[in-house]
Amino acid sequence: MNRRDFNKAAAAVGVASAFSPLNVRAQAQKLKVGVLLPRSGFQGLIGQSCQKGADLAPGVIRQMLGVDIELMNADTETNVDTARTRAERLIQEGANVLCGPFDSGAAAAIAQVAEQRGVPFIINIAAAPQITEQGYKFVFRNFPTAIDLTVNGLALIGDLFRVTNTVPRTAVFMHVNDTFGQAMNKGISATLPRLTNLPFRIVDTIAYDPAAKDLTVEVSKAKAANADFLLLVCRLNDAIILRREMVKQRWHPMGVVSPGSPGMYEEQFSKALGPIANYCISNAPWFNPKTNMTKVVKSAFAKANPKENFVFHGTNVVYTYESILIAADAFKRAKSTDPKALAEAIRQTNITDRTVLGGPLKFNAKGQVEGNLSACTQNLNGEPRVVLPESAAEAKPVFPAPDYKKA
């Protein structure tokens, strides 16, 4: 055999091995759920947190729904190209439904794949509103959009003032200049003027680079605005730098309040800052500490992660868990793993026993869940505690903060 023939043969073998027969989707006893999360790369920390929610899902779901799930995990590596190919790969390997991926960019990429292949995709966490505005039939999102977050967050701020009998007149608004921050900024500019029950107005808006390692100028500017409190949309690393800078510059407003962003309720924040992390308030999508399912998820989490504190992973865990719950619940009702049937069943979802704080889990015509609420959480004794809404509260809010010095 000369080289020419060898090459031809090798090519033929290659072609044959790449060829996969069409997946015959038979009526199966098990639901294969593809889980796409960023476990490495820039979002690795949060991705791994979400993964904990995914890992405990099969056990809890078997216990509570009697449904068998097989997880197929993939790492999107915080990279949109990887997200896309991994999604294709999971579908190729027989995933009946996809869940994930935490990031809006990756979500948009995976959504296209899911829609193209007709496989339901349930988004656990991603706030960009456009994703459910594309007219997709196979994409579902169980997470508030940036607009929902803004509206919920501002409403909670109003409640906070009402419950603590305070009337701050001015706020300085600082936000990260990334996808999330800009969306929140737009949302706040649009909704705040209409909310006449809120006593404050924003005296200055300062956008900062999420990658900035030094926020001296930003904090100086914010301090100079002489506002009553700080309204902050942030991420974890910059929140830590910011808070430290506030202390160094001796700026003690009534409080640091986030209308809806990660950062201040995360573990690193409290661990890195110690006592100065206390009294920071974050309005964020949260778990309902009082429901039955939350208690089950919490104990499953504790068993699997004995060294971790559930409250720090709560949001990531419950939203990821619920995305898989939705899949399992739909599977139970559809009694088949056929993607179209699953998608239809998902559309009819109505789950009342939930972990997430909010109304019943129902999708609207665009595949978006309305009614997921934020909780007002405050760092007290090194942990975020739910202080509002009062029905789910674990503690009373402290506002203004004890170190408040009138400017």
Q: Which residues, 215 to 244, sit near another protein by CB under 8 A?
A: 216-218, 220-221, 224, 236-237, 240-241, 244
Residue in 213, 307, 365, 381 binding another protein, rule: CB under 8 A: 213
59 CB burial (10 A radius; 0-12, 13-18, 19+): middle
Please select the residue that binds another protein; options are 64, 70, 71, 89, rule is CB under 8 A. Answer: 89
Task: Kindly state the DSSP code that residue 236 receives in the 8-state scheme.
Answer: H
Beta 121-123 vs 281-285: how paired, if at all?
unpaired
SS3 281: strand
Q: Which stretch in 55-63, 205-213, 280-288, 304-312 sits in contact with another protein by CB under 8 A?
A: 205-213
Work out how close the CB of 63 gets to another protein at its nearest, in angstroms, rounded to a whole number: 25
Q: How many chain residues touch another protein (CB under 8 A)?
A: 78
By CB under 8 A, what part of segment 2-21 binds another protein?
3-4, 7-8, 11, 15, 18-20
Rounded to the nearest 10 degrees, what angle do helices 310-334 and 292-304 cross at?
110
Which of 247, 351, 395, 398 contacts another protein by CB under 8 A? 247
| Residues 102, 20: Cα–Cα separation, whole Å | 30
Binding characters for another protein, 312-341, by CB under 8 A (x = yes): ------------------------------
**Rounded-to-integer distance, Cα 383 and Cα 379, Å:** 5
| Residues in 138-177 that interact with another protein by CB under 8 A | 177
Asked whether position 190 contacts another protein by CB under 8 A, the answer is no
Interacting residues with another protein between 386 and 405 (CB under 8 A): none
Q: Are 205 and 189 in contact (CB under 8 A)?
A: no
| Residue 104 near another protein by CB under 8 A | yes
- Region binding another protein by CB under 8 A among candidate stretches 94-102, 111-119, 283-291, 372-380: 111-119
Residues 64-83 that bind another protein (CB under 8 A): 73, 75, 77, 80-81
Q: Which of residues 31-70 bind another protein (CB under 8 A)?
A: 39-42, 44-45, 48
What does DSSP assign to residue 276?
G
Q: Which residue has the tokens 């170190």?
A: 403
Whether residue 400 is preceded by a cis peptide bond, meaning omega within 30 degrees of 0, is yes
Does position 186 interact with another protein (CB under 8 A)? The reply is yes
- In the bound complex, what is the minimum distance in angstroms from residue 32's beta carbon to another protein? 15
- The verdict on 84 binding another protein (CB under 8 A) reads yes
* Residue 302 in the binding site for another protein (CB under 8 A): no
- Do residues 280 and 253 lie in contact, with contact meaning Cβ atoms separated by under 8 Å? no
Distance CA 218, CA 229 (A): 15
Q: Which residues on neighbouring strands pair with residue 63, listed in sequence order?
A: none
Residues 6+ apart with CB under 8 A from 335: 27
Nearest approach in angstroms of CB 93 to another protein is 8
Task: Report the C-alpha gap between 54 and 125 in whole angstroms.
Answer: 13
